[in-house]
Amino acid sequence: MTPPVPAGPYPPTNELVAVAWLSQRVAGLTAAIVGTGLPKDTTKWADTGFLQVQALPSGTAEVDLPIRRPRLQLDGWATANTDGTSSSIKPPWNLANRLLELVRIATEDAQTGYYGRPVDLPANYTAARVQAAYFITEPERVLDDPSGYARFTVDLALDWVRA
């Protein structure tokens, strides 16, 4: 018989920490428009765009220090085609790119308190402290999306520890 899942609190994970840091620290982003999956209901994020976070199977495993150094793919999404019927509406490329630039501004500012303070994770997860975040590529326009959405993508490196 499979033993029950042990009661929490559970340790933080790379994607949870990234979503929490982006939605709680980056000015202009909220928890409603940052997540690991793109919501199908475009009316919920058509005005603001959506920032999708996906972990990459890479990064540096630290042997001596309890620090995580994952790399993540950030996708800024935007659409003006909320009813899903028209394919002739021009995708709002600038809105998609702007989301990534908001993140870049946060990564470049070490004085304003973006780093070091614990970020709150979902219930039953312990907090984490992001120590550094930086782009390792430049934002890239991704064409030919099957839904016709505007999309920019970038890879982000994140250094974090358990709080």
Partner 1 sequence: MPNSATIRITRYHDRAILPQVETGVDNLAGNIVVRMRRLVPKRSFRLYDSIEKLPTTVTGSKVKGGVRVGGKSVRGKYVGYHLMVDKGTSRMAAQPYIRPALYQSRSGDLRVKVSE
**Nearest-approach distance from CB 64 to partner 1, in angstroms:** 18
Q: Hey, how many other C-beta atoms are within 10 angstroms of the C-beta on 93?
A: 14
Residue of the chain from 3, 4, 37, 113 that contacts partner 1 (CB under 8 A) = 37
Do the Cβ atoms of 161 and 128 come closer than 8 Å?
yes
Among the listed residues 21, 25, 26, 75, the single contact to partner 1 using CB under 8 A? 75
Asked if 94 is part of the footprint of partner 1 (rule: CB under 8 A), the reply reads no
Question: Closest Cα to residue 50, out of 159, 147, 157?
Answer: 147
Candidates 11-19, 20-28, 53-61, 102-110; binding stretch for partner 1 (CB under 8 A): 53-61
Residue 151 interacts with partner 1 (CB under 8 A): yes or no: yes
Based on the shown chain and the rule CB under 8 A, indicate whether residue 54 belongs to the binding site for partner 1: yes
- Please state, in angstroms and as integers, the Cα–Cα distance from residue 122 to each residue in 27, 126, 136, following that order: 20, 8, 28
Considering only residues 59, 118, 131, 162, which one is a binding residue for partner 1 as defined by CB under 8 A? Answer: 59
**Sequence-ordered list of residues with C-beta below 8 angstroms from that of 148, at least 6 positions apart, any chain:** 79, 81, 87, 89, 91
Residue span binding partner 1 (CB under 8 A) among the ranges 9-17, 82-90, 93-101, 141-149: 141-149
